Amino acid sequence: MNPFFLKIKNHKEQNLPFVLYSKPNTDNLIGVLQQNSTLHTVSDYSEKGFVFASFDEKQLILIPENESEVIISEKQPTLFESIEIDDLVFDPESKFQYEYLVAQGIQAIKNEEFKKVVLSRSEEVALAAFDFVETFQHLVQLYPATFCYCFFHPKIGLWMGATPEKLLKANGNVFETMALAGTQKDNLQSEIVWQQKEKDEQQFVTDFIVKRLREFTASVIVSEPYSLKAGSIWHIKTDISGVLKENSTLEEVIDTLHPTPAVCGLPKKKSKAFILENENYDRTFYTGFLGELNSTFGETETSSDLFVNLRCMQIQDEKAILYMGCGVTKESIPEKEWEESVNKSMTMKRVLKK
């Protein structure tokens, strides 16, 4: 094992907090190794380090830059064959429950309670043998265009993921974000064709983000929507960038964007209330956000680079808990949303040994 991963393994064996990550389409792996087991938190987003935030923002965990050793390594190719999974095997009770939840969401939209809601589920996968370093290397190899990470804190647990969605990049008063919605499986088709349902969903997300950002920005630039491939799934993506007003703070912008309509719904408050009342499980850090906060990890200048925690899993003892969700609009069909959630579960299942 190379010295970079050996150091992280030794750190984990001492039960000390760390994060190991790789940014989209880059050549480096970054490790941030906290030198004590204190549980640090973010209070106003002026802190420096790596943040790991829950969906409800009640847990804002920080690995502080000034109490950590930062190590960087170049990515090395690994020999790994993706596991092809039979996605026809599923728990009928889980399917029934999820389709019922989606049907409730559709009815609430028809009742004009909100326009869109993102409904999710979790799934447990038994692990015979689990090696977080090996699994992380597989994530990086399979999903180079995503933010791949492995986060550990003895008081929080071990989480891993490969997320395609940026929440916010801020460097001084210049910022970048994105609207991401719509999903279809990659069937090696020559042209990606989107249905009106997905186009509408994407436009909802874009309009919401731009409208909310106008309060804090001097200017906003919005790209045309385009198709983006993340692993074996296609999404519609719109790039949004601009300049913040001088008196705007990072905290204001994060609070405005999170949770995005891509993980919560529209309007935000009503859809979030529906999620908390009806999903019947605690998302914790799934659909929260994570990343560099006012830090210089692997960079020459200070910036914040935050991602939405999608396509992720929590590792507990001899099982992995996988999380996946789907955007529900009035055109949604419960069985199709179930199939989409199964497709999304494959992102993590492909890197887990049978």
Residue type, 96: F
Give domain status of residue 83, yes or no.
Answer: no
Residue 82 lies in a domain: no
Domain assignment of residue 84, yes or no = no
In degrees and rounded to multiples of 5, residue 159 shows phi and psi of -125, 145
pLDDT of residue 346: 87
How far apart are alpha carbons 248 and 293 in whole angstroms? Answer: 16
Query: Does any domain span residue 86?
Result: no
Residue 233 pLDDT level (bands cut at 50, 70, 90):
confident
Distances (CA, A) of 293 to 151, 169, 244: 15, 10, 17
Q: State mean pLDDT over 139-151.
A: 94
pTM recorded for the entire structure: 0.92
- With a cut of 70, say whether residue 242 has pLDDT above it: yes
Task: Indicate the number of domains in the chain.
Answer: 1
> What CATH number does residue 226 fall under?
3.60.120.10
Residue 49 backbone phi and psi in degrees, to 5:
155, -150
Query: Is residue 354, in this structure, part of any structural domain at all?
Result: no
Note the pLDDT tens digit of each residue in 292-322: 999 988 677 889 999 999 999 999 988 999 9
Whether 147 contacts 22, CB under 8 Å: yes
Q: For 164-220, write each residue's pLDDT tens digit.
A: 889 999 998 999 999 888 778 888 787 889 988 888 878 888 998 899 899 999 999
Q: Do the beta carbons of residue 7 and residue 33 sit within 8 Å?
A: yes
Q: What is the mean pLDDT of the chain?
A: 91
The whole domain housing 208 covers 3-76+91-349
Task: Compare 189 and 47 and report the one with higher pLDDT.
Answer: 47
Beta strands in the chain (DSSP E): 18-22, 28-34, 40-41, 49-53, 60-64, 68-74, 116-126, 147-153, 157-163, 166-171, 174-185, 217-222, 226-230, 233-244, 265-266, 289-295, 303-308, 312-316, 319-328
Eight-class DSSP state of 227: E
Q: 3-state DSSP call for residue 221?
A: strand
Instruction: Calculate Rg over the CA atoms of the chain.
Output: 20
Predicted local distance difference test score (pLDDT) of residue 81? 67
143 CB-near residues (< 8 Å, 6+ apart): 162, 230, 231, 311, 347
